[in-house]
């Protein structure tokens, strides 16, 4: 046994301890930011999309649904909007724009940023309050039976969202 082996072992133990601390911090942050979010059956809603269509939770039954709360003034939301737009081309998605202006302002914003996902204007935050949204972005994944399966607050990845949608197919 060389003298390097104990050094490598100590480094590995230190790295694993650091990784465990990071995991605990991230889990704690996730639990804190989603503490008020609803769970179980998704709250029903009657939403008007920017294109004038009326939708409700029942319209999305049978397949997983991504409900994404965001705002035009939120830098993290802007960072994620391309991923949400790509997912909306393949999956059921409802985005809820909070405190971002009226329909005309949002249509201009979407055109300027080249995204085309379905948007419900929640300028007063009523829908967000019913869903327990306390920070942006917040994303819910609902299974085909209307049960909330995953809630994510803050930055997430396209791969992470797709994985959650796939798991909700279950």
- Extents of the domains making up the chain: 1-33, 40-168
At the topology level, CATH places domain 40-168 in Glutaredoxin (3.40.30)
- Can you give the pTM of this predicted structure? 0.86
Q: How many CB atoms lie within 10 A of CB 137?
A: 25
pLDDT of residue 28: 72
CA distance 131 to 25: 25
pLDDT (tens, 9 = 90+) of the chain, 170 residues, equals: 566 788 889 999 999 999 888 888 777 776 677 788 899 999 999 999 999 999 999 999 999 999 999 999 999 999 999 999 999 999 999 999 999 999 999 999 999 999 999 999 999 999 999 999 999 999 999 999 999 999 999 999 999 999 999 999 97
Taking Cα atoms as reference points, which of 52, 28, 55 lies closest to residue 44? 55
- Neighbouring-strand partners of residue 47: 55
Q: Which residues contact 57 (CB under 8 A, 6 or more apart)?
A: 42, 43, 44, 45, 65, 142, 146
């Amino acid at each position: 046994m060389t003298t390097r082996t104990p050094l490598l072992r100590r480094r590995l133990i230190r790295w694993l301890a650091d990784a465990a601390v990071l995991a605990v911090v991230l889990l704690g942050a996730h639990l804190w930011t989603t503490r008020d979010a609803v769970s179980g059956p998704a709250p029903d809603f009657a939403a008007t999309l920017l294109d004038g269509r009326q939708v409700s939770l029942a319209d999305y039954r049978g397949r997983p649904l991504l409900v994404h709360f965001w705002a035009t003034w939120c830098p993290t939301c802007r960072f994620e909007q391309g991923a949400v737009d790509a997912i909306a081309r393949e999956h059921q998605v409802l985005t809820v724009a909070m405190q971002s202006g009226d329909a005309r302002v949002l249509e201009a914003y979407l055109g300027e940023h080249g995204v085309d996902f379905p948007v419900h204007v929640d300028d007063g935050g009523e829908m967000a309050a019913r869903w327990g949204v306390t920070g942006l972005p917040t994303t819910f994944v609902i299974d085909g039976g209307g049960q909330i399966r995953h809630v994510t607050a803050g930055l997430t990845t396209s791969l992470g969202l797709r994985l959650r949608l796939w798991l909700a197919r279950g």
